[in-house]
Amino acid sequence: MVFYQRWQSETIKNALKTRRVALLNGPRQCGKTTLAKQLVSIIDEIQRVPSLLVAIKKSVDEDKRPGQYLLTESANIQSLPSVQESLAGRITKIRLKTLSQGEIQGSQPIFLEHAFNQDFHYAYKPTTQQDIIQMAAGGGFPEAIQLHGRDRKKWHQDYVEALLERDLKDIAHIQKHDVMNRLVGILAAWSSK
């Protein structure tokens, strides 16, 4: 397995120095657990056991030291009807997205610095239109970018199917999966224009 240096690492380390609880959220399979385990021990996928939030609140109210908990979640736990504890004032949220091209290529996050200087000569390795299309089609999920061709396409199809069949059903109690599949297809087509 390939490990990538994530740009959010320093943000998480800083959050743990100043806040009692840090919550790393983002889509499934974007690397939250892998990144969190590189930094500290964690409570992974907190949305599966929302009752833990009450115990965490009690713990961090009694002991106000920063950096006590690093939680991860794939679903927005505050949006779940069974969750009644927000940890307001005790928690900071950090959003982890899929890998950027800079993270994949092992470069530093310097795009904006160069853009403000109107210097675009440092650009990432791809130079042809086909290279750029391949990067876009590959996406940024760590496991998927290791695959090619039909295997990568199948990974993405399986990912969307799992989200629609299981995760969305758990969160929103959606019953008509075929309609939701068509809607996702339509939205994807519209977003590509």
As averages over each run of 10 residues, the pLDDT of the chain (193 residues) reads 87 95 92 91 77 88 93 72 73 93 83 76 66 83 92 92 76 72 84 66
15 and 71 inside one domain: yes
Tokens of 52: 């833990």
Domain count, the chain: 2
184 and 112 inside one domain: yes
Is the distance from CB of 164 to CB of 181 less than 8 angstroms?
Answer: yes
90 and 28 inside one domain: yes
Across the strands, what pairs with 25?
73, 95
131 and 82 inside one domain: no
For 125, the domain range is 101-191
48 and 85 inside one domain: yes
Report the predicted TM-score, pTM, of the whole model to 2 decimal places: 0.77
In this prediction, residue 84 carries a pLDDT of 66
In this prediction, residue 80 carries a pLDDT of 56
What are the C-alpha distances in Å from 134 to residues 101, 126, 147, 156?
Answer: 12, 9, 12, 14
